Homo-oligomer: A and B are copies of this chain.
Amino acid sequence: MSSQKSMALPDAAVAPKRQRGRDRVEAILATASDLFSEKGFDAVTMTEIAQRSSTAIGSLYRFFPTKEVLAGVLLQRYGSHVTDGLDAIVAGAGTASARDIAASLVGLVRDLQTERSVVLPLIDVQNDGIALRQALRDAMRERLEKILARGRTTPPADGSTRAIVLLHLLKMAWALALAAPSLRDALEREVEGLIASYLG
């Protein structure tokens, strides 16, 4: 593969060294984030990303040598948004009610969307390479388990199963927020209640 050409060039994003390039990169990331969020990883084309961000295809590839890498960078960049957000919720989980925690979780999802943190939609794209996705998934699961185990002396045996379900609930919250702008708030409230009851 890429090693044929040059072992020295890592299959990683190239950092721009000038302001112009940094702007480009931001524009690309924002566009890609939106598109991935709208249509999913596979359905988005590099050409589309280039066009929507007014970037020449060659420039896009200068900074992001593959579509995979582009997704990886988004994951890397926004990964901490999720984990930090979850950490904060974990921190307050001891004293908070199920309702409060649910509100925080849904609020987190809403914030992620405002910040274009596409983590949730990209997290289980199946692509070879890059252990990042798994790492992020694990990191989220770990926090969610803690949230589920809050206040208990012994964590429940089915903690990991429940964390998976909870993760899916967060993805559901994301999807619902995107789908129907008019119903958005009502749906959000519903999911919040749902999550609260799951945490209870």
Contacts and interface: CB of A to CB of B under 8 A. Distances in A.
Contacts of A191: 165
A128 B194 CA distance: 33
A108 B63 CA distance: 45
Interface in A147-179: 158, 161-162, 164-165, 168-169, 172, 175-176
Interface in A80-135: 126, 128
Given A161-B187, A165-B190, 19 more contacts: A5-B45, A6-B51, A8-B51, A39-B126, A42-B43, A158-B186, A161-B183, A161-B190, A162-B190, A164-B183, A164-B187, A165-B187, A165-B191, A165-B194, A168-B172, A168-B176, A169-B172, A197-B198, A197-B200
